[in-house]
A and B are shown apart, each in its own frame.
Chain A
Amino acid sequence: MELNTNGELMEAGNLKGRLLVYVLRDALGLTGTRFGCGTGFCGSCTVWMDGQLTLSCLTPADSVVGKAITTIEGLAATYDPNRLHPVQQAFIDEQVPQCGWCMSGQIMTAAALLNGTQDPSDEGIAAAMEGNYCRCGAYHRIKRAIRRAAEVMARRAGEEVQA
């Protein structure tokens, strides 16, 4: 079976009985989507399905045939193919990751949040991000990076309107 992943149709093999997280990681080699708990608690495996946040560890792979999957490897291209997504750049600028294992999930969740709202409140950030654990405790910097990315995205949106 083929999966539409990061804008490309990719041959993923037999999907019967398979979970999206393992198909992405093992069949397609997209290991940027991480496995953390396998039960939907930790958010490490977060991807987008037709732009909506999806926990790939709970998603049967055959249920996403025909849908557009976006992983961390394809995130930048959804915004600007020539550079990192503003959320990724903000996570560098604020030096957020420590071990980094949760970061793909954090970034996918934060980017979806900022697609939906330009200027999230503290409560909005907490509500959106509380399903993404960070055992290293980079929470402080995650909040700062999301605010920084929100500013950048709002500014760029403003520039586009002017142009």
Chain B
Amino acid sequence: MNLYDLIVKKIKDIQAAGDESPVTNISTSSMLTAEITLVSSILVALIMLRLVSKVLMIVAVLVVLFAALTAMPLMPKFKKEQNDSLASMMFYVVIALAIVITLFYWGNLNV
């Protein structure tokens, strides 16, 4: 089994049971592009931590790189999470509210 077949198999494994859409060449290459874009964008964004601390930046980049490599492929999981179910949308809305309020209240008082 070559690398491409391995990727297709992994996508099929992660894809939701209810998702009947076939895994085609186009969908696989789209998934790969999204995967590479996601990981590279996050890694480049993490470099901005240099403004806080260079050591923190290096540690964060290495940790995220390791986590991304071990958890790959991330995009099928991300796609599954960003579905149209009201329950999951509500879940992320509540999480976002908590993060925003915590960051503002705690972040501004302590920075």
Task: Tell me whether A and B are bound partners.
Answer: no
Binding site for A on B (CB under 8 A): none
